């Protein structure tokens, strides 16, 4: 029996009019008041883990989920856990013959493994962990979750790199030095102060100076997240807010936490297995190209799903009270594959993906109404969105020996290896290589390593192999890598013990293309009564893209809105507002040296309760007064007598405080 109110208490089971399922922490000052019964928009914690009551008639509703990637799987999860929908009423429609979408992991020792990409994870992906703390663990016994497993691994095996940046065929750079001048640091600070609304259709290279774009900081940032200089400046801003607490770990990658296995076996398989066990239906070989919509008084309702099933045209009828969740666009659409001796051949043009692509559904929706955005802004120039990866399946060879030199643990130990990507800053392809914990696949032989390589710049010839990366075979990409490692003279031995599988992805960073307000649709577009959109090309309040977190967030918001559940999907973690993160972020941008004015703060707060929020000063206690006075003189030259007066006041205040404490 479904309840409209809670027995004995007048508690509605549906959200009231005006309820904000996707709260925005940046819109207004939040404070306590009698009518405000909800926590802050970005509140994260067990109190946000409450389970809502079933909404009326949910037992009779069905859900059709288009796309079996992480967003689609998350939609099914939240429909069941928070929406109380019967799992048997949920159907996932997937074009391929396996779930997972872009989060792949396949192959074998004989033919080589392949992973188009990997997961750089963070502890405050709160929506992701909210879901995976309820998904059974991969290897631990019943009662443990994927989150439990992840914590146990990473708490006991710290991640860090000792060779994050390299050049000159083997020289390790000092990656603790971000190389930003004071004026270049201010470029980033000014960007963070700008309003999001003022950054429409502005590229990174249109804003930052040439010096900034040549700095170690930008080399670290762009290769860690796969930004090109032509990409969206707005997205860089969102990334800085999202990862402000992580800036001091950008250099050695200590901010990252990695899984034991690849992304498919770690996340997709246990989640899909759980959904299947609950009764969710998976329908493969189904490609959806359009949705039939009825429109009455600006209200749009999906009435049918137009698709092909195993190549045959079908229309799936959708009732008005049923729900549809659809993926808009795919970053791995039209991937072309190669191997040791073949070059991947793209089947799409630079400006048009063609009619038989993963962009077709979104394009057809956009033709019906502007509320569905402008997909051409994202697929319209593959020269700006393309890059290539290569997966190496390695037996012992000089390449493996070189990796041992650059790793924090023996690659065969099962522990952290390179700690993230190693980037060759003088590579014309901006080539990076990484070896994560091994084995990377559960069935991987003990003497085998799986190594991942990617190049960000596709329009320049290699430093050693005089071709662009997309023109190269796997053998040539391996040769270029070995050149940057200084071991190209041993290439024959390396090739004999290495299998290479390449993936050329024309839309892999399409989500980073310059955009303006309205280019991406909302999770539930205006006027839609039973349609939610999920994935990397959907607008959210403040979150970034190119993460699992983003896809899961869109699914969660869509479920809450369409079922009108009185529960919110919290805004991103509020770490950007923590004064400690602001201070250590400023110190990190200044390459670990005290930032201007920091010693004033130390002078004020030292020996108080709040002294611990400040990064430790580099000089010993005995010389801090001299350093403080030198800083005051330097700042006074810029700020005049007012600053000297402030310094005098701070000194007087400090002495008075110390006397009261005696």
Q: Is 226 helix (H, G, I), strand (E, B) or coil?
A: coil
Q: pLDDT confidence of 140, banded at 50, 70, 90?
A: very high
CB atoms within 10 A of CB 660: 7
Weakest mean pLDDT among 84-93, 184-193, 437-446, 617-626: 617-626
Per-residue confidence band for 627, with pLDDT thresholds at 50, 70 and 90: confident
- CB of 308 closer than 8 Å to CB of 287: yes
Q: Read off the tokens for 659.
A: 């006397």
Q: What is the pLDDT of residues 414-444, one digit of tens each?
A: 999 999 999 999 999 999 999 999 999 999 9
Statement: residue 642 has pLDDT above 70? no
pLDDT given at position 646: 58
State the chain's mean pLDDT as an integer. 94
Torsion-angle region of 387 (φ positive above 0: left; ψ -120 to 50: alpha; else: beta): beta
What are the tens digits of pLDDT across the range 94-120? Answer: 999 999 999 999 999 999 999 999 888
| Distance (Å, whole) CA 535 – CA 553 | 9
Angstrom distance (rounded) from CA 453 to CA 478: 9
3-state helix/strand/coil string of 498-536: EEEEEEEECCCCHHHCCCCCCCCCECCCCCECCEEEECC
Q: To which residue do tokens 């001048």 refer?
A: 181
517: Cβ contacts below 8 Å, ≥ 6 apart: 197, 200
Token pair for 361:
């559904």
Closest CA to 606 of 661, 646, 559: 661
Burial string for 135-146 (b: 16+ CB within 10 Å, else e) reads bbbbeeeeeebb
Distance of CA 365 to the CA centre of its chain: 26
Mean pLDDT value across residues 22-41: 93
DSSP label at residue 595: P
What pLDDT, on the 0 to 100 scale, is given for residue 659?
55
Average pLDDT value for residue range 627-646: 66
User: Is a pLDDT exceeding 90 seen at residue 482?
Assistant: yes
pLDDT at 3 over 90: no
Question: Most distant CA pair in the chain: distance in Å?
Answer: 86
Least confident of 21-30, 346-355, 511-520, 625-634: 625-634
Residue 90 backbone zone (phi > 0: left; psi -120 to 50: alpha; other: beta): beta
The secondary structure of 326-385 as a DSSP string is EE---TTTT-EEEETTB-----S-SS---SSSTTHHHHHHHHH-GGG--THHHHS-HHHH
pLDDT above 90 (res 35)? no
Fold classification of 1-105+116-138+260-328+521-583 is FAD/NAD(P)-binding domain (3.50.50)
Q: Report how far Cα 16 is from the mean position of its chain's Cα atoms.
A: 33
Which pLDDT tens digit goes with each residue over 381-391?
Answer: 999 999 999 99
Report the candidate in 455, 461, 467, 451 with the shortest Cα–Cα distance to residue 501. 451
Domain limits of the chain? 1-105+116-138+260-328+521-583, 139-163+387-505, 177-249, 595-661
Q: Is 618 exposed, middle or buried (0-12, 13-18, 19+ CB in 10 A)?
A: exposed
- pLDDT value at position 541? 95
pLDDT, position 2: 44
- Cα(661)–Cα(35) distance, rounded to whole angstroms? 42
Residue 413, token pair as written in the block: 């130990």
Pick the range with the lowest mean pLDDT from 146-155, 160-169, 289-298, 646-655: 646-655
pLDDT tens digit sequence for 208-244: 999 999 999 999 999 999 999 999 999 999 999 999 9
- CA–CA separation, 226 vs 616, rounded Å? 32
Beta bridge partners of 533: 326
The answer on pLDDT for 45 being more than 50 is: yes
Residues 6+ apart with CB under 8 A from 598: 583, 586, 587, 614, 615, 617
Q: What is the pLDDT of residues 578-609, one digit of tens each?
A: 999 999 999 999 999 999 889 889 988 988 99
Task: Please give the positions annotated as active site.
Answer: 120, 239
The 3-state DSSP class for residue 640 equals coil
Write the DSSP string, 460-502: S--SSS-S-GGG--HHHHHHHHHHHHT-GGGHHHHHHTEEEEE
Q: According to the model, what pLDDT value does residue 655 have?
A: 62
Please give the Cα distance from 418 to 408 (Å, whole number). Answer: 6
pLDDT at 334: 95
Q: Is residue 304 within 8 Å of 316, Cβ to Cβ?
A: yes
Angle between helices 579-589 and 598-605 (to 10 degrees): 140
Closest CA to 127 of 576, 624, 581, 542: 542
Residues 6+ apart with CB under 8 A from 385: 378, 379, 506, 507, 508, 509, 510, 512, 513
CA angle 90, 77, 124 (to 5 degrees): 155
Which long-range contacts (C-beta less than 8 Å, at least 24 apart) are formed by 26-29? 26/541, 26/542, 26/571
* Backbone conformation region of residue 300, classed left if phi is above 0, alpha if psi is from -120 to 50, else beta: beta
Is residue 295 over pLDDT 50? Answer: yes
- The reported pLDDT for the residue numbered 442 is 96
Average pLDDT score over residue span 133-155: 97
In this prediction, residue 488 carries a pLDDT of 97
Q: Domain 139-163+387-505 falls in which CATH fold?
A: D-Amino Acid Oxidase; Chain A, domain 2 (3.30.9)
Helix (H) or strand (E) segment spanning residue 548: helix 548-563
108: exposed, middle or buried (Cβ count in 10 Å: 0-12, 13-18, 19+): middle
Tokens 């643990």 label which residue?
Answer: 409
Taking alpha carbons only, the member of 206, 544, 506, 250 closest to residue 383 is 506
State the Cα–Cα distance between residues 266 and 91, nearest whole angstrom: 23
In the structure, what pLDDT confidence band is assigned to residue 661 with cuts at 50, 70 and 90?
very low
b vs e for 420-430, b when ≥16 Cβ sit within 10 Å of the residue's Cβ? bbbbbbebbbb
pLDDT class for 1, splitting at 50, 70, 90? very low
| pLDDT at residue 600, as a whole number | 87
- pLDDT at residue 629 is higher than 80: no
- Contact status, residue 475 vs residue 160, Cβ threshold 8 Å: no
pLDDT on residue 634: 72
DSSP per-residue codes, 13-76: SSPPTT--SS--TTSS-----TT--SPPTT--SGGGG--PPPPTTGGG--EEEE--BHHHHHHH
Q: Is the pLDDT of residue 409 over 70?
A: yes
What are the beta bridge partners of residue 503? 337, 389
Q: Are 173 and 167 in contact (CB under 8 A)?
A: yes
């Amino acid at each position: 029996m479904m309840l409209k109110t809670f027995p004995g208490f007048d508690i509605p089971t549906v959200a009231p009019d005006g309820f904000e399922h996707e709260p925005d922490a940046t819109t207004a000052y939040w404070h306590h008041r009698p009518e405000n019964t909800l926590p802050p928009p970005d509140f994260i914690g067990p109190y946000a883990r409450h389970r809502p009551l079933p909404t009326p008639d949910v037992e009779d509703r069905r859900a059709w989920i288009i796309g079996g990637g992480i967003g689609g799987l998350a939609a099914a999860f939240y429909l069941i856990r928070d929406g109380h929908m019967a799992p048997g009423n949920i159907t996932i429609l997937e074009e391929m013959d396996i779930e997972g979408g872009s989060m792949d992991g396949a192959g074998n020792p004989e033919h080589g493994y392949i992973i188009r990409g990997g997961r750089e994870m963070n502890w405050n992906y709160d929506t992701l962990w909210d879901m995976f703390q309820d998904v059974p663990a991969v290897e631990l016994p019943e009662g443990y979750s994927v989150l439990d497993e992840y914590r146990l691994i990473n708490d006991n095996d710290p991640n860090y790199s000792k060779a994050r940046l390299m050049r000159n065929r083997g020289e390790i750079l000092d990656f603790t030095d971000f190389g930003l001048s004071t004026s270049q640091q201010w470029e980033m600070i000014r960007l963070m102060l700008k309003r999001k609304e003022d950054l429409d259709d502005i590229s990174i290279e249109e804003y930052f100076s040439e010096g900034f774009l040549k700095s170690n900081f930008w080399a670290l940032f762009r290769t860690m997240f796969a930004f090109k200089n032509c990409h969206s400046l707005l997205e860089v801003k969102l990334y800085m807010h999202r990862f402000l607490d992580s800036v001091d770990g950008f250099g050695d990658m200590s901010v990252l936490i990695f899984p034991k296995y690849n992304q498919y076996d770690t996340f997709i398989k246990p989640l899909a297995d759980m959904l299947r066990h609950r009764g969710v239906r998976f329908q493969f070989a189904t490609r959806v190209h359009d949705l039939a919509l009825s429109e009455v008084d600006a209200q749009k309702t999906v009435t049918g799903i137009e698709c092909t099933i195993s190549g045959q045209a079908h229309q799936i009828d959708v009732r008005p009270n049923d729900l549809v969740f659809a993926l808009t666009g795919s970053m791995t659409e039209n991937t072309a594959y190669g191997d040791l001796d073949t070059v991947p051949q793209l089947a799409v043009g630079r400006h048009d993906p063609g009619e038989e692509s993963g962009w077709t559904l979104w394009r057809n929706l956009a033709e019906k109404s502007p509320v569905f955005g402008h997909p051409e802004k994202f697929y319209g120039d593959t020269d700006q969105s393309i890059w290539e990866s290569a997966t190496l399946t390695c037996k012992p060879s000089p390449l493996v020996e070189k990796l041992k030199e650059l790793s924090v643990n023996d690659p065969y130990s099962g522990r952290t290896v390179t700690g993230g990507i190693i980037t060759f800053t003088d590579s014309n392809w901006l080539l990076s290589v990484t070896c994560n914990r091994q084995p990377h696949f559960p069935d991987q032989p003990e003497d085998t390593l799986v190594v991942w390589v990617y190049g960000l710049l596709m329009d320049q010839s290699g430093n050693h192999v005089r071709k662009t990366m997309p023109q190269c075979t796997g053998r040539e990409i391996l040769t270029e890598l070995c050149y940057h490692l200084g071991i190209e003279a041993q290439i024959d031995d390396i090739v004999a013990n290495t299998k290479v599988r390449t993936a050329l992805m024309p839309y892999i960073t399409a989500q980073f293309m310059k955009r303006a307000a309205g280019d991406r649709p909302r999770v539930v577009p205006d006027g839609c009564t039973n349609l939610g959109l999920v994935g990397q090309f959907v607008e959210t309040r403040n979150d970034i893209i190119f993460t699992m977190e983003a896809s899961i967030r869109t699914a969660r918001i869509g479920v809450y809105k369409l079922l009108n559940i009185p529960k919110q999907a919290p805004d991103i973690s509020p770490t950007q507002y923590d004064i400690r993160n602001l201070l250590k972020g400023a110190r990190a941008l200044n390459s670990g040296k005290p930032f201007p004015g920091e010693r004033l703060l130390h002078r004020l707060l030292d020996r108080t309760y709040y002294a611990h929020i400040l990064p430790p000063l580099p000089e010993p206690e005995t010389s801090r007064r001299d350093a403080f006075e030198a800083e005051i003189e330097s700042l006074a030259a810029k700020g005049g007598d007012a600053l000297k007066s402030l310094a005098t006041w701070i000194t007087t205040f400090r002495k008075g405080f110390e006397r009261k404490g005696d």
